[in-house]
Structure 1
Amino acid sequence: MDEKEKIALKIRSMKKYVDFLRKYKSISRKRLEDDYELKSAIERNFQLAIEAALDVGEIIISAKNFEKPEDYRSVILTLGRHNVIPPDFAERFARAAGFRNILVHMYDEVDIDKLYEYLQDNLPDFDEYARHIARYLEG
């Protein structure tokens, strides 16, 4: 499997997770807070979507021999520095890496307001990321 195939697989997975999240965009903050199973599923799908996006970045960074990122946030910022994605978008989308760390390392401390905000406001970022990656691969 070459890099483009690996990236396409990761993008498809990312979209699957984001599609799941979109189904719950209209839920209330209260339901998110009260429904432990739903909250857990949303947290997990956010984690997986972010990790798929980061995997795409790591594949590109490795294939192009860009400098090795120090952390997950740097994966996205490196893509911005090398114009794989627009630098201003990279700055904004890099925050997802920090959110991923919260989801992975602080299970009981995930701020319900932050989770709800991400669910309401940040799903389009994944679509934009996929478009930028597709354009980069085409060009």
Structure 2
Amino acid sequence: MVDEGLVRQKLALLAEYLQDLREVEGVTTEEFVCDKRLRRYIERTLQVAVEACVDIASHWIADQGWREPASYRDIFVVLAENGVLSTEQAGVYQKMAQFRNILVHDYAKIEPEILLGILRRNLSDLEEFLKRIASLLHGGNWQ
């Protein structure tokens, strides 16, 4: 049985991270490049937001007894294989998981322009994941 309380807690954290990112998404390129604390704040908040998605998905997969994912990227493939996400959506979230790995392991190589672009263009992907999972949870379709 799925631990709905845990999932709700992770969804609340994800919503909080998204709100935090929305508050700084209007930062100018100059401010972003010149303010290393702001950059680090955005990097870390993006990282934990993606990790919240991974945690939620992993919990769901384990609860359902679906095949064990081979990697963070594969988690979203498993969701697509079982009809939770479309193949297209899974591809988007695979890229997010890959970006999370870069943040964690290759943080010195992150181009500020790429990070700023993700902040400006990809928060809606995280919001869609939150909405999708919340909808399934509230709709009683959490199998």
Q: Shorter-chain TM-score category?
A: over 0.9
Structure 1 residue 84 corresponds to structure 2 residue 123: no
Runs (4+) off by over 3 Å: none
After the TM superposition, which of the residue ranges 120-129 and 82-91 deviates more from structure 2? 82-91
Letter in 2 for 1:42: I
Greater Cα offset, 74-83 or 49-58:
74-83
CA contact (8 A) 1:43 1:115 kept: yes
Aligned counterparts, 1:60-139, within 5 A = 60-137=60-137, 138=139, 139=141
What corresponds to 2:53 in structure 1?
Answer: 53
Aligned residues: 139
Structure 2 CA distance, aligned partners of 1:30 and 1:86? 37
Q: Which amino acid aligns with 1:100?
A: R
Alpha-carbon distance in 2 for matches of 1:114, 1:76: 23
Partner-residue secondary structure (3-state), 1:94: helix
Q: TM-score, normalised by structure 2?
A: 0.91
Identity %, equivalent residues: 28
Structure 2 gaps, min length 5:
none
Give the TM-score normalised by the residue count of structure 1.
0.94
Give the whole-Å Cα distance in 2 for the aligned partners of 1:46 and 1:34.
Answer: 19
CA distance in 1, matches of 2:111, 2:121: 15
| Matched-pair contact (CA < 8 Å) for 1:76–1:94 | yes
Structure 1, unaligned runs of 5 or more: none
